[in-house]
Amino acid sequence: DLDEGAEAIESFTGGEILAVPCEADSIVEPHEGMEFESEDAAKIFYDEYARRVGFVMRVMSCRRSERDGRILARRLGCNKEGYCVSIRGKFGPVRKPRPSTREGCKAMIHIKFNKSGKWVITRFVKEHNHPLVVAPREARQTMDEKDKRIQELTVELRNKKRLCAAYQEQLTAFMKIVEEHSNQLSKKVQNVVNNLKEYESIEPQLLQQR
């Protein structure tokens, strides 16, 4: 319990969970070479680190496999990363400009899927260019609920994608069957046409014989 000055910290390095007693203000900091069992484990770790340090994590760009679309690398950073670009219509701003929450912050970690099957931090930028504000415990609980909902939606989306892939495979197989049937039907029609042409060519001879 934080009130008692100690807590169990989950260390994802090496694929083990290690309970370490620590001071209430102790923070486990990311570092290059740190390993995680999955991308979600890395997100959970960096999100907790962000809350304890005083910023909000943002899931940023990723690199996918050209072969199967699987995510191979991901950037996790601060929600103040980048700059807001004002959207303008033909006759001026589409809506009233709001104060920008982006400040071009460079803080981030880059995680990569390696051959061992683990996710590894390959780059860590610690410094922020804005003040850090630690949220109260009530706000953290709200964020926990939000993150839980995001994870649920992510799992649901992943399942939908798998279902769509299965439907696509079934549709491809069905189209192949239809194509084969169409080819066979075309051959039969062509045989009938050839037989008719052959009959037309010998029809005069048959009439003479009568």
pLDDT for the residue numbered 19: 34
Determine the structural domain holding residue 157 and report its residue range: 143-209
- C-alpha closest to that of 38 among 4, 90, 74, 82: 74
State whether 59 and 106 are in the same domain: yes
Looking at 122, 141, 160, the residue that finishes a domain is 141
* Tally of domains within the chain: 2
Residues listed for the chain: 210
- C-alpha closest to that of 43 among 30, 59, 56: 59
Contact by Cβ (8 Å): 90, 131: no
Residue 196 in domain: yes
Contact by Cβ (8 Å): 118, 37: yes
Residue 44 in domain: yes
d(Cα 140, Cα 124) in Å, to the nearest integer? 24
209 is written with which tokens?
A: 């014989």
164 is written with which tokens?
A: 């769509």
pLDDT for the residue numbered 142: 53
113 is written with which tokens?
A: 């899927």
pTM equals 0.48
Residue 52 in domain: yes
State whether 48 and 94 are in the same domain: yes
State whether 96 and 151 are in the same domain: no
Residue 60 in domain: yes
State whether 125 and 199 are in the same domain: no
State whether 116 and 153 are in the same domain: no
Contact by Cβ (8 Å): 75, 62: yes
pLDDT for the residue numbered 1: 36
Residue 176 in domain: yes
**Long-range contacts of the stretch 59-67 (C-beta < 8 A, 24+):** 60/108
pLDDT for the residue numbered 21: 38
Residue 27 in domain: no
pLDDT for the residue numbered 14: 41
State whether 123 and 53 are in the same domain: yes
Looking at 107, 122, 141, the residue that finishes a domain is 141
Looking at 110, 141, 172, the residue that finishes a domain is 141
Secondary structure E strands in 25-181: 35-36, 57-64, 71-78, 88-89, 92-93, 108-113, 119-125
d(Cα 16, Cα 10) in Å, to the nearest integer? 8
pLDDT for the residue numbered 84: 66
pLDDT, averaged in runs of 10, over the chain (210 residues): 36 37 64 92 90 87 87 90 62 55 84 91 91 64 65 83 88 91 89 84 73
State whether 101 and 61 are in the same domain: yes
pLDDT for the residue numbered 16: 38
d(Cα 52, Cα 9) in Å, to the nearest integer? 12
State whether 92 and 151 are in the same domain: no
State whether 81 and 95 are in the same domain: yes
Residue 184 in domain: yes
State whether 45 and 95 are in the same domain: yes
State whether 41 and 129 are in the same domain: yes
Q: Helix, strand or coil for residue 39?
A: helix
Residue 65 in domain: yes
State whether 128 and 178 are in the same domain: no
